Amino acid sequence: MKNRNISYISFIIAMASAASSCNGFLDKMPDNRTEVDTESKVVSLITSAYPKTDHQLLCEFMSDNVDDYGESNPYYDQFIEEVYGWQDVTQADNEDPENLWEACYSAISSANKALDAIENLGGEEVSQTIKECKGEALFARAYSHFILTNIFCLNYNSKTSATDPGIPYMTESETTLNPDYERGTVAMDYELMDKDIQEGLSLIGDNHLSVPKYHFNTQAAYAFAARFYLFYEKWDKAKEYADLCLGDTPTLRDWTAVASLPVEPDVRSEDYINSDHSCNLLLTTAYSGMGLYMGPYRVYARYSHGRYLASFETGAATHIFGGNNAYIAPMYSYTATNFDRAMFWKIPFLFEYSDPVAGIGFYRCVFVNFSTDDCLLTRAEAKIMMDDYNGAAADLTLWQNNMVKASFRKDLTPESIQTFFNSVEYADGMNSTIKKHIAPAFEVGEEGGVKESMLQCVLDFKRIQNLHEGTRWFDIKRYNIEIVRRVMGADGFPETVTDSLTAGDPRRAVQIPAKVIKAGLQGNPRNN
């Protein structure tokens, strides 16, 4: 099965290489310059208020979820090499920082145009549909700015964000993707996102949505608000909105149902993104090859989440509940010449034919941007920061016991969590464990204390939950986790450390696009 898929993908790649870049398609203005003067046109326009390029690939390959399998491995290119090495990206790619920047600002432009049209129609009081559209547009605008800020800036922290460079926050319609704006600060961006989210929460609704899971529906809005306020260090608000999202009895992913499916990557990855699943709150589509790069294919195999990482740091490592045999639906690994990859099947590879006869088109993917499972861990983290250790332990228990077989289930307590994580050594460059030193701007207590141990647990669970989805990068930034770049030896174990991303390293903020800097916007500082 694996060889057949690899051959098929190689054929697709060969055909796609002859096709032109999809940049021209992505650059097309979503409203085609039409006048948005009816309710139905507003509804239609808002479908363009979501980025057509996603951040998952960029963030995943910058994180500690990949290792370098050596120069002899031919399956890589300059773009992914630059991303993995935290370099300023110079190689063009459909998922490079420039395309992400443009896609986010294009989505913001659509949201702003929709908001302008709503005001021209008479405002939110015109109809329930218009009211809900305004709420969705505000959330979409805040979300794209959230992605831009957390990738192209340093993470929010209450000690430095008043002076850390932000990104231009666009609240008015623009006809250019690179307006002449000042960057402002991270604190200013968060204040404006906060304003959009709070106004949006008073308006959001689901009645106008034909396919709610592909929009900021009410539950997805609560999940985003919870994540936003967690990043904003407003723990009580993060918990408040997580509570609203989850309700009294959270509906999490049904892993027993997943385990009953055929043991095929295509089947299970497509099930993971199924909009009928109550756990999936917001799905987005994007031009992305992530399904290739995080699937059972050789594409980008030099930089890979392999068996070593899986066995000592992520899914198949020894956690408080056990190892890979504990999961209802375990992680799978693939090995061959120049190929070492371990994965949960969750990122589908999809292909959109622009010309079926010629066999050309674009890589596509569907991403689960928000889920109840992730929101549960957001709430657990917020509770820890509020010193509600018992409440956090209950949430961690619920997440854990939903993932593992009945024989591995147990009630976690602050004491059992502290005991377990004190038995685990901190990782260093050559030796991997599930526990790494954390040094955020906010207070986490002494190493080995109950608070720090519980944060180690939630970070461990989040790394499993969000593996292959890019979100780990945000936690690395928020917690100032040091990560290393290492070359793996022929035995599959680390051989050499080549670089490290220390706390305070300016490369934690991706460089803004060169053409934007050339147009006059301040670039991110670098050490050399």
Share of the chain above pLDDT 90, in %: 88
Average pLDDT, the chain: 92
Q: Report which of residues 37 and 459 the model is more confident about.
A: 459
Candidates 195, 492, 467, 248; CA nearest to 372 is: 248
DSSP-derived secondary structure letter, 340: E
Q: How confident is the model at residue 34 (pLDDT cuts 50, 70, 90)?
A: low
The yes-or-no verdict on residue 24 having pLDDT over 80 is no
How many CB atoms are located within 10 Å of the residue 187 CB? Answer: 18
φ, ψ of residue 6 to 5 degrees: the values are -65, -40
Tell me what pLDDT residue 178 has: 52
Q: Which of 237, 155, 128, 123 is nearest to 505 (CA)?
A: 155
pLDDT exceeds 70 at position 274: yes
| 104: its two tokens | 């986010």
Reference 138, options 27, 225, 38, 33; nearest CA is 225
CATH number of this structure's domain 2-518: 1.25.40.390
- Asked whether residue 9 carries a pLDDT value surpassing 70, the answer given is no
CB 447 within 8 A of CB 294: no
Pick the closest to residue 31 from 135, 96, 115, 98 (CA basis): 115
Does the predicted TM-score (pTM) go above 0.75?
yes
Q: Where are the domains of the chain?
A: 2-518
Confidence (pLDDT) at 334: 94
Least confident stretch, 90-99, 177-186, 319-328, 444-453: 177-186
Helix (H, G, I), strand (E, B) or coil at 336: strand
DSSP state of 299: T
pLDDT at 18: 31
Residues 404-421 have a mean pLDDT of 98
| pLDDT band, residue 74 (cuts 50/70/90) | very high
> What would the two tokens of residue 512 be?
């803004």
And the tokens for 456?
């180690």
